[in-house]
Amino acid sequence: MRVDKLPHIWCAGCGDGSVTAALIRAIDKLKIQRDDVAVITGIGCSSRVNNILDFNTFQTLHGRAVAYASGFKMAKPQMKVIVVTGDGDGAGIGGNHLIHAARRNIDLTVILINNKIFGMTGGQFSPLTPYGAVASTAIYETIEYPFDVCKLMEASGATYVARGTVYHLSLTEKLIAQALEHKGFSFVEVITQCPTGFGKRNKMPDPYDLLMWQKENSVHVDQVGKYSAEELKNKHIIGELFVSNDRMEFTEAYEQLKERARLSAKGGGNK
């Protein structure tokens, strides 16, 4: 970490610093060497993690972090390539890159920090803004329903899917560590608080209130069976949501393809 940037570089009460700390602790616990890590970001509050992390870092165009990270992973398959993105950057303008990286099962760890708003660019509603919430582009309320981005990732082919919150930060740290260890496309959504862009417009300007909202509206996946469908409505299911080891990771499949092509060129056939 770049200590000259401490305490952090976000708005007071923002949860992005907490998510960054969880990521650093997860990498440290796994004893991954600093030079073996690349963190790729796009544009937004979440993307400012590059200013505080002392890894190999690269900030890309808005919504293009997953595309750049995919190319980086193909060039350096031995490295841990992490994408830190936001609900607008990752699920909005970058949504198409996200679903296709999941479909390929390329070995990226994507951490999507969901503050339910375009925080840095003026408080516009995002694809993950709750129905009925107020935003700068929905001054009465938004009438669009949000994605369940974790279900979207599972349906797209991701082989590790999890969700945490800033309130449940020790769980979030554990989920990030498990995602980093998983071979294949790993996705961790982290629900975080934005008192500046979201909270002030939705009668929760105090970060404490937003954290309590996370607590009261989250149900661990192991506890889901105790609730009715009506009780689970609009709740965030947190924890490890989906894990599969049945699909080959993309860079490994690509190496095998290159070997078959090499043998074919030498007259060894294409099998």
Give the integer Cα–Cα distance in Å for 70 and 106. Answer: 7
- Check pLDDT > 90 for residue 243: yes
- Residue pLDDT, tens place only, 47-92: 889 888 989 999 999 999 999 999 999 999 999 999 999 999 999 9
- Check pLDDT > 70 for residue 271: no
The confidence score (pLDDT) of residue 179 equals 98
The CATH superfamily holding the domain 3-265 is Thiamin diphosphate (ThDP)-binding fold, Pyr/PP domains (3.40.50.970)
The confidence score (pLDDT) of residue 268 equals 61
Number of neighbouring beta carbons within 10 Å of residue 66: 27
The confidence score (pLDDT) of residue 237 equals 97
- Residue pLDDT, tens place only, 195-241: 999 999 999 999 999 999 999 999 999 999 999 999 999 899 999 99
Q: If you compute the radius of gyration of the chain from its CA atoms, what whole number of angstroms results?
A: 19
Rounded to two decimals, the pTM is 0.94
**Residue 124 DSSP class:** B
For residue 167, give both structure tokens.
Answer: 């309130």
The confidence score (pLDDT) of residue 169 equals 97
Mark out the alpha helices in 54-183 (DSSP H runs): 65-75, 87-88, 95-104, 149-156, 169-181
The confidence score (pLDDT) of residue 270 equals 55
Indicate the residue type of 97: H
Give the integer Cα–Cα distance in Å for 168 and 188. Answer: 13
| pLDDT > 90 fraction of the chain, expressed in percent and rounded | 85
The confidence score (pLDDT) of residue 258 equals 92
- Residue pLDDT, tens place only, 5-24: 777 789 999 999 999 999 99
- Check pLDDT > 60 for residue 269: no
The confidence score (pLDDT) of residue 51 equals 86
147: left (phi over 0), alpha (psi -120 to 50) or beta: beta
- Residue pLDDT, tens place only, 122-180: 888 999 999 999 999 999 999 999 999 999 999 999 999 999 999 999 999 999 999 99
The confidence score (pLDDT) of residue 121 equals 83
- Residue pLDDT, tens place only, 151-163: 999 999 999 999 9
The confidence score (pLDDT) of residue 1 equals 63
Task: Indicate the domain borders of the chain.
Answer: 3-265
- Residue pLDDT, tens place only, 91-124: 999 999 999 999 999 999 999 999 998 888 888 8
Give the integer Cα–Cα distance in Å for 110 and 167. Answer: 20
The confidence score (pLDDT) of residue 123 equals 81
The confidence score (pLDDT) of residue 210 equals 95
Give the integer Cα–Cα distance in Å for 158 and 250. Answer: 12
